[in-house]
């Protein structure tokens, strides 16, 4: 009897421990779900609604005259009127096409110039020691001040805006390309050297593939800056693009129309950025696949 009673007493703590462990395991997913919080889309939507609410409250409070601070409702109405006008062949559609063309051409020019100069800086001592200091000096200059210079050199047409857009956007591509070429692992470089690979073969088969994530990072930054460059070129150098419409609307205190034009420019920039990101996922596929494997494990 005593032995049986002792056995029952020792079995009870084990049962309690097992039950506690089971409840802890069952509670761990709930704690993990609480730590994860809301989905990103919900957070983005909530933050956007909060910003619009604050904007609307300031607009209707009367603290600022409506002509100087249009509310989100006024901006949405003007944006919709502009979209309807573009659907019927309004002049805004032509202006949007002109600005988009300047952005795309400037973007391509920035990629070409930035990539070539980045290779020069990353692969040669002449580029690192001689060319790079001049590029940095040019980059720290107020680039907006070059807009009249480009207008004098290339005229009032689309060429000056394309050059201005590329001029503002090309520097990040140079820096990231050079950094990517310099980030190659030393062991891999020694392996190529031991196999007798030429400098050109090492560049094409080792350094450039390894530098692609850095290069695309610079291209993404350029995709944002090129929109700024095109609008600055139109704003200071005239033309028929959205930058000129913004300038004209601001002179008439039509700030709701200014915000509408800014929304269209933002959409163009976001689409260009998304396109670069999609191309990156296709080209640098090994980086994203390894990231998914790590997250999946």
The CATH number of residue 154's host domain is 1.10.3720.10
| Residue range(s) defining the domain that contains residue 33 | 2-59
Answer yes or no: is 65 within a domain. no
Structure tokens at 131: 């060319």
- If phi > 0 it is left, if psi is from -120 to 50 it is alpha, else beta; for residue 262 that is alpha
Run of H or E residues at 234? helix 208-237
Tokens of 159: 């060429």
**In-domain check, residue 64:** no
Domain match, 195 and 254 both: yes
CB 203 within 8 A of CB 191: no
Please report which confidence band the pLDDT of residue 8 belongs to, taking 50, 70 and 90 as the band edges. very low
Who's near 92: CB < 8 A, 6+ residues apart? Answer: 82, 85, 86, 242, 245
Q: How far apart are CA 273 and CA 277, in angstroms?
A: 6
> Does one domain contain both 46 and 169?
no
Is the same domain home to 12 and 108?
Answer: no
* In a shared domain, residues 148 and 51: no
My answer on whether 98 and 27 are in the same domain is no
Average pLDDT over the chain, rounded to an integer: 81
The token duo for 100 is: 């988009």
The answer for residues whose C-beta is within 8 angstroms of residue 197's C-beta and 6 or more apart is 205, 206
Q: Are residues 116 and 257 in the same domain?
A: yes
28 and 88 housed in the same domain: no
Instruction: Work out how many domains the chain is built from and give that number.
Output: 2
Task: State which of 67-71, 163-167, 185-189, 246-250 shows the largest mean pLDDT.
Answer: 163-167
Domain presence at residue 185: yes
One domain for residues 288 and 147 = yes
Asked whether residue 105 falls in the same domain as residue 240, the answer is yes
pLDDT band at 185 (very low <50, low <70, confident <90, very high): confident
- When mean pLDDT is compared across 129-133, 230-234, 241-245, 283-287, the lowest value belongs to 283-287
23 in the same domain as 159: no
pLDDT bracket for residue 275 (50, 70, 90) = very high
Domain co-membership, 103 together with 40: no
Assess whether 167 and 274 both reside in one domain.
yes
3-state helix, strand and coil shares in percent for the chain, rounded to the nearest 5: 85, 0, 15
Q: Show which of 30, 59, 88 is a domain's final residue.
A: 59
pLDDT in tens, 204-244: 788 888 888 899 999 999 999 999 999 988 888 777 888 88
Q: How many helices (H) and strands (E) does the chain have?
A: 14, 0
Q: How far is CA 13 from CA 17, 19, 21, 26, in A?
A: 6, 10, 12, 20
For 10-33, write each residue's pLDDT tens digit.
Answer: 444 444 444 454 444 444 444 544
- 63-72, 160-169, 186-195, 257-266: segment of lowest average pLDDT: 186-195
Indicate the pTM of the whole model. 0.78
């Amino acid at each position: 009897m005593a032995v049986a009673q002792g056995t029952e007493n020792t079995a009870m703590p084990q049962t309690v421990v097992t039950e506690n462990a089971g409840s802890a395991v069952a509670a761990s997913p709930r704690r993990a779900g609480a730590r994860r919080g809301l989905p990103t889309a919900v957070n983005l939507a909530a933050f956007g609604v909060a910003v619009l609410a604050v904007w609307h409250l300031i607009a209707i409070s009367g603290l600022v005259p409506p002509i100087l601070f249009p509310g989100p409702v006024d901006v949405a109405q003007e944006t919709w009127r502009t979209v309807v006008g573009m659907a019927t062949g309004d002049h805004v559609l032509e202006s949007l096409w002109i600005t988009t063309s300047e952005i795309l051409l400037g973007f391509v020019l920035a990629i070409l110039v930035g990539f070539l100069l980045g290779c020069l800086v990353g692969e040669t001592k002449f580029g690192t020691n001689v060319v790079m200091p001049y590029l940095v000096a040019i980059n720290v200059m107020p680039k907006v001040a070059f807009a009249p210079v480009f207008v004098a050199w290339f005229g009032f047409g689309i060429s000056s805006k394309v050059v201005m857009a590329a001029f503002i956007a090309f520097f990040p591509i140079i820096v990231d390309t050079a950094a990517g070429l310099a980030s190659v692992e030393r062991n891999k470089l020694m392996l190529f050297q031991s196999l007798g690979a030429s400098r050109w073969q090492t560049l094409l088969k080792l350094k450039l593939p390894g530098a692609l994530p850095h290069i695309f990072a610079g291209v993404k930054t350029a995709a944002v800056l090129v929109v700024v460059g095109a609008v600055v070129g139109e704003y200071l150098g005239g033309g028929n693009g959205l930058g000129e419409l913004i300038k004209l609307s601001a002179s008439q205190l039509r700030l709701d129309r200014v915000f509408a034009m800014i929304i269209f420019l933002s959409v163009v920039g976001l689409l260009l950025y998304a396109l670069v990101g999609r191309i990156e996922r296709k080209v640098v596929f090994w980086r994203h696949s390894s990231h998914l494997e790590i997250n999946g494990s």
